[in-house]
Structure 1
Amino acid sequence: MAAQRRVTIKQVAREAGVSAQTVSRVINDRRDVSAETRQRVKAVIDRLGYQPSYIARSLISGSSCTIGVVVWGLQFYGPFQAFLGIEQAANEQGYDLFLRLTQAITQDDGKALIKSMLSHQVDGIIWAVPESGQNHDWICTAAHTLPVPIVFLSMRPRPSLHVAAVDNRVGGRIATEHLVAQGYRKVGLIAGPLSWWEAAERRRGWVEALEATGLPADETAVVEGDWTPRSGEQAMYRLLERHASIEAVFVSNDQMALGAMKAARAAGRTIPDDLALIGFDDISEAPYLVPPLSTIRQDLDALGRQAVHKLISLFDSDDQDNHADEQVSPMLQPELIIRESSGAIR
């Protein structure tokens, strides 16, 4: 039996009564195609079983149809969930991903990653690397000279840059406000690395909530972890050693909260009767812990999708030099999820 010949873009164009360029625009989800034409072309594509050739698609569109993504920390819940949102949104829009993972966030490593992205002819870059200390200053400056658009994920929004982020300060504030509303007056904090923007913002929210109610934001009641369960366990031991009378703790992510709960139990504290606890992220295991973990939910899928949609919108715009307007990008708002660990359900 003779092999079935591959359907070409010209055959689709002929059947649909349009040009090959119009078919390409439909495939690439360009906005300059009428709804009627788009529907007709898609119907022909489905009927003929047309599968676009990656090379032909790139030649016709003048685009690699590839988004470069630099990601730190896929072993952690937050970065992994955000990446899933990026992957799904890119797939829905017809883009492939060129992914580079990094555990380092130095300037030299970052420059090498950008060079790798550009050598693979990506159409744009999503930079999903934590902002820590001064490590983002160079990339923020370099962004304005890159030949492709770049969108930053989970860093401090700045005028003139494209950023997708969750409002971590608000998350820290509503977590602490919830504990205070339960009647707790001695509220500690297990923070992430405070050189990181996200961790510092969650601490800032903790401070604001306590000061707003006249309670002390005691710096000796702040212990840093590194986002891992083990660091959460060690931090809780240190916190209880410093403040045996602590009543409640805001833990800056749920993975550290796992370790914090273990340490509290080992120290003879029953949650929430002796010690209330609230986390941040709403990991999938949170409702199944004993007791179920109160937490702050951030819509990480929406965050990843927002980054993709923001980047794709730049491909067809005049803003190819990565200069956003002077308004700071709006941040996604987190949500309080109340379960038993914070003492709200008895």
Structure 2
Amino acid sequence: MDLHYLIDNLTNPALLFFFLGLVAVNIKSDLRIPENSSKFISLYLLLAIGFKGGQELAHSVITSEIINALLFGILLAVVVPIYCYFILRIKLSVENSGAIASAYGSVSAVTFVTTISFLEMSNIPFGGHMVAVMALMEAPSIIVGVMLIAIFSSNKKNKGSLKSVVHHSLTNGSVVLIIGSLIVGYFTNDAQAEGIKPFTTDIFKGFLAVFLLDMGIVSGQKLKALLKKGWFTVSFAIIIPIINGCIVAVLSGFFMEEIGNRLLMSILAASASYIAVPAAMKLAAPKANPGLYIPMALAITFPFNITIGMPLYLCIIGVC
């Protein structure tokens, strides 16, 4: 592997702020990002990336590659939670296995946004339609996870929650915002888009840095609790993303040409949700332990993907 991409990624200011958050927790600093501010920044990031994706999509011709990417993303969101569930059942309960499987079948919007920042820094082009792929991968994995819990659980009450969770998955705030912003960006003409460019583009990396600082603080707070659960979950949170990301990095070459698109597809396959899935599982599987699936996705898989994962998948794609 060419260390150039790894070094560039590790010296990215946004990522360094993530590490600053981890350090702050370990030295017991009182550094915190106000909850309302953190929520606003996360909404801004989704809005900005959705809008820019819509703009890119508006200038793209709908091709078989775009259609194949959308279908492949949905397929991943269905298949990944199924095989993850049966691996997790070796050690964990039905509810915990279903919740974690959903998280790893779904996607992390923040990991996706960070990867886009990495691609822009490295001058690697990518298509706006990948935002649509990300949005479509949120709900299917949640639905599959709930169905697995309903099928294998001895608690019959779980079987009545599928309809409400399907609705919640499709109307989840992050899903609505990313799809809505994509549509708004698609129908906005170039002159109008230029008028809000300072908001959607110029300040984007600064807000990303602040958000990753907050993610570093939250990750540092949750990591110790996860380590106390044992090495099975920690190993899963590293090995499964590697397997998913590497396989997709290879398979994407059969229907994708752009290196940036292949990396984004790989990172979507490797990432895990720590926003949409926990919200859904709180409703559908209250017995599932959020002290497992949230820190697995946020404190282990997320930092792994944005430090080692991106350069690794890029190398497999052929940029070494």
Place the TM-score, normalised by the shorter chain, in its bin: under 0.3
TM-score (norm 1): 0.25
